[in-house]
Amino acid sequence: MENPQQRLQPHLRPGEKLLWSGQPDPRVHFMPSDAFLVPFSVLWCAFAVYWTWRVLNSGKSPWFALVGLLFVGIGLYQLAGRFIVKARQKRRTVYGLTDTRAIVLEGERNVSDVRVKDVPAKVRKHRDGAHVEVIFGASGLQKGYLNSGMEIFSPGRESPVAFFDVPDSDALLRELDRVR
């Protein structure tokens, strides 16, 4: 796969300078919201399995079993699937900071950007001290579930431009300070 600079080059505007580029670290799996999401997922999945098992053993309509299986599927996604999806997305994502914009490229065609000077930037260092996340313009509860793998349950909702789980934190923060 091409390096981040090569992947971002076609998305730069004339005269725009790429100051920093990088990718999220796919080895970072957990985030603060997982303190709630993981236990909730275990309870959801356990209840859905129990409910489905009870329905299957009660002789009730197969419709109830299908609904139960749907909820088991949702529980399994919450419990494990979201981590697989998140790791896959991270491998396909590159970040870029130019002299005017923050750019997120997911895959080859999904580009999100924001003028850095137009929105506030929230910077959060991870506990390990080696990774950082920068969220441009997010506010409220929405921030808590960004980068959780649960975005699939809110289709159509516009997510703010954000750099998650960046291992090269010093270089990114230095360039971000320079741009702002």
pTM of the model: 0.82
How big is the chain, counted in residues?
Answer: 180
Phi, psi of 166 (to 5 degrees): -80, 120
- Name which of 158, 125, 142 is nearest 33 in CA terms: 142
Sequence ranges of the domains in the chain: 1-11+19-24+31-180
Measured between alpha carbons, how far is 12 from 4 in angstroms, rounded to an integer? 12
Q: How confident is the model at residue 145 (pLDDT cuts 50, 70, 90)?
A: low
The residue behind tokens 């300078």 is 17
Per-residue confidence (pLDDT) for residue 29, from 0 to 100: 85
What three-state secondary structure class fits 172?
helix
Per-residue confidence (pLDDT) for residue 16, from 0 to 100: 96
Residue 158 has pLDDT above 70, yes or no: no
Per-residue confidence (pLDDT) for residue 168, from 0 to 100: 81
Residue 144 has pLDDT above 70, yes or no: no
Per-residue confidence (pLDDT) for residue 94, from 0 to 100: 97
What is the tens place of the pLDDT at every residue in 16-73? 999 999 999 998 888 878 888 899 999 999 999 999 999 999 988 889 989 999 999 9
Per-residue confidence (pLDDT) for residue 109, from 0 to 100: 82
Per-residue confidence (pLDDT) for residue 97, from 0 to 100: 97
Strand order in the sheet with 121-125: 121-125, 132-136, 161-166
HSE-CB for 142 with a 13 A CA cutoff: 13
HSE-CB for 88 with a 13 A CA cutoff: 6
Measured between alpha carbons, how far is 171 from 158 in angstroms, rounded to an integer? 28
Per-residue confidence (pLDDT) for residue 31, from 0 to 100: 80
What is the tens place of the pLDDT at every residue in 123-141? 988 888 789 999 898 665 5
What is the tens place of the pLDDT at every residue in 77-120? 999 999 999 899 999 999 999 999 999 999 888 899 999 998 98
Q: Residue 74 corresponds to which tokens in the numbers above?
A: 């949702």
Per-residue confidence (pLDDT) for residue 174, from 0 to 100: 93
